[in-house]
Amino acid sequence: MDFDHYSLKLTQSKECLSQIISSFSTKSNTDWLTLSIHAATFPIIQELRYCMAFSLVSRYFSSTRQPDLNGYAEEFEKLYGCKPVGWSEVQFVRSYLLLILDWEGEVRSCNIVKNLIDTADMMELEAIYKTLPLLPYPSQFVSLAEEGVRTNMTNVFDAITQNNPFPAAYLEENAWNQLVVKSIFTDRPIYRLIGADKRSNTKLSKILIDYVKERWAAHRDVSPELWRFVGEYAPDDFHFLMKKLLSEGSPFEQAAAFLACKDDGSEEAMKLIEKLGVARNNKDVTWDDLGVSFWEQKQIPEGYQQAGSGYAPIDIE
């Protein structure tokens, strides 16, 4: 698609981010940002100056303060595709800098973003991955998103997977399945995978069921959120697995089994949840409700660890 297809959303996104930044920026920080943008983009993009400005944002804006979006929350959520959870001042400013590239020049602007990723530190990577839903030419960034899924840095993995609509919208099935499986393996919140239900598929269901059987054989639990991807594509032994969860599982596992049986929708599944009496306590629950409640009670160690080793801090939203 040509630039005209993206120009309206790009203009609206830049205007919205500019207003948000104005709401928290001091005069001195605004002056620095204005001068840096002028030096980096006039009369044309000066890539070295632009990359320096992108990196220096953290010297002038806070990486910990999350600004109040005031009257811009609804507009930004509409443009972005979901609520921006955990966005700091630095994130908003770096997202704005990515949007002010000369996107009529598709090849050069896309290459600048890719070059930024090659030299970015962890926080800069987070900013780039979180901004992908706002950038024009999304097909140019699919391979970058796939790289984000493969990272061993939890914060970067979360930036592309958590509260980010880009993966569900653009990743191919195998890459999407890898994202979901890794999220479960590394114990990340599934309810924050935007568009997850629309991307369920038979292959993913089979992978997860095999994983469940391995864990159960070793007398180990699995996340109750895993079952979100199973009910609609129920395997042959689905009802046996559900019966085990409904009769022996924790309250969260019973709620997950109830929802999975509802997704399956078969007569046998409906009889099973009626017979074991779990519908009464779970009739109004949703997968997102289950995920939020599960993570609210989960004990999360403090501090950062890599994706392969478990936890990173979670903001419950």
Neighbours of 287 (CB within 10 A): 23
In angstroms, the Cα distances linking 3 to 47, 110, 182, 232 are 21, 13, 35, 38
Q: Which two tokens stand for residue 189?
A: 């919140």
CA 151 to chain CA centroid, nearest Å: 14
**Cα–Cα distance between 258 and 252 in angstroms, integer?**
10
**Cα–Cα distance between 106 and 310 in angstroms, integer?**
38
Predicted local confidence at residue 216, as pLDDT: 93
**Cα–Cα distance between 227 and 211 in angstroms, integer?**
11
Which of 94, 90, 91, 103 has its CA nearest to residue 8? 103
End-to-end CA distance of the chain: 35
**Cα–Cα distance between 113 and 95 in angstroms, integer?**
11
Q: What is the DSSP letter of 134?
A: G
Q: What's the average pLDDT block by block, 10 residues per block, for the chain (317 residues)?
A: 89 97 96 95 88 96 94 95 94 97 93 94 97 97 95 95 97 97 96 95 95 94 95 86 90 92 90 72 84 85 44 48
